[in-house]
């Protein structure tokens, strides 16, 4: 699929992967609809992009009705989308002494329910047209429960499996489904991490990789390859689960 003249809607577009992906897509000839909570950042990004290549609307993906109104605003200004990218998400690592009731639910609200609210808007119009492309930004963390990140890993795992099932269900519908599972990528999210992040990618490199996957309508992409091996083969299959858990928790 060529991006030339295509209109792509991106949630979580105010920073990190979402913002850089918008820049990358516009550079490849696309127009973008930017969705996020922070109006000032959306406006700044839209002003940074070439005139006529972007439109924006502020919404919180956890607010289903508000999100859908914002999406309709983007349609009114930019036209029907060819691709909808569910990218909005956040994490807040939590050790046992820091546990707070409700924190996990807030992460699921954004990462999973926000994703489902986005699908609820995009899928009916794609199915009616018999064409379209849904892209979900999951994570390599969806393959294994890493310490102190239960809600993030769990929400991304649900997202990844949901997309996998959806992809098979929509096989003959004309609607493509792509799952992206990045490892560590430079962003506001990872800047808060106080631990070593192996194989950390710069945001622009990750955006190029994601754009390539969307362009070829890939089914599922996991990067970098070292993290793909670690979580899909190393930890998941070759290393006994008890040993993997001891290694990850530093318990010998």
- 79, 81, 92, 95, 225 from 235: Cα distances, Å: 44, 38, 23, 22, 14
Across the chain, the runs of DSSP E, i.e. the strands, are 7-11, 31-36, 54-58, 83-86, 132-137, 175-182, 220-223
Cα-Cα-Cα-Cα dihedral sign, residues 140, 64, 134, 70: negative
Q: Which residue has the tokens 């009731």?
A: 101
Q: How far apart are CA 68 and CA 79, in angstroms?
A: 15
41 torsion bin: left (phi>0), alpha (psi -120 to 50), beta (else): alpha
- 133, 232, 238, 244, 247 from 252: Cα distances, Å: 45, 22, 18, 10, 6
Give 180's strand partners. 137, 221
Which of 56, 126, 152, 201 does the annotation list as catalytic?
152
Other Cβ atoms less than 10 A from the Cβ of 61: the count is 26
Our answer to whether residue 108 is catalytic in this structure is: no
Q: What is the dihedral of CA 36, 41, 43, 49, to 10 degrees?
A: -100
DSSP 201: B
Q: State the catalytic residues.
A: 152
């Amino acid at each position: 699929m060529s991006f030339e003249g295509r209109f792509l809607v991106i949630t979580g577009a105010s920073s990190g992967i979402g913002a850089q992906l918008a820049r990358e897509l516009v550079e490849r000839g696309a127009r973008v609809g930017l969705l996020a909570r922070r109006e000032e950042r959306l406006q700044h990004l839209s002003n940074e992009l070439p005139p006529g290549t972007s439109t924006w609307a502020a919404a919180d993906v956890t607010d289903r009705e508000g999100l859908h109104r914002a999406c309709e605003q983007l349609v009114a200004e930019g036209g029907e989308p060819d691709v909808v990218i569910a990218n909005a998400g956040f994490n807040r690592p939590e050790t046992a002494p820091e546990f707070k009731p409700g924190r996990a639910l807030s992460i699921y609200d954004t990462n999973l329910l926000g994703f489902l609210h986005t699908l609820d808007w995009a899928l009916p119009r794609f199915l009616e047209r018999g064409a379209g492309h849904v892209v979900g930004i999951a994570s390599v963390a969806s393959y294994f429960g890493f310490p102190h990140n239960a809600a993030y890993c769990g929400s991304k795992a649900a997202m990844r499996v949901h997309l996998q099932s959806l992809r098979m269900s929509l096989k003959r519908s004309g609607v493509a489904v792509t799952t992206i599972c990045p490892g560590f990528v430079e962003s506001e999210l990872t800047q808060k991490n106080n631990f070593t992040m192996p194989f950390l990618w710069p945001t622009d490199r990750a955006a190029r990789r994601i754009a390539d996957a969307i362009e070829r309508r890939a089914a599922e992409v996991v990067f970098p390859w070292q993290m793909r091996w670690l979580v899909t083969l190393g930890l998941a299959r070759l290393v006994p689960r008890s040993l993997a858990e001891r290694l990850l928790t530093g318990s010998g």
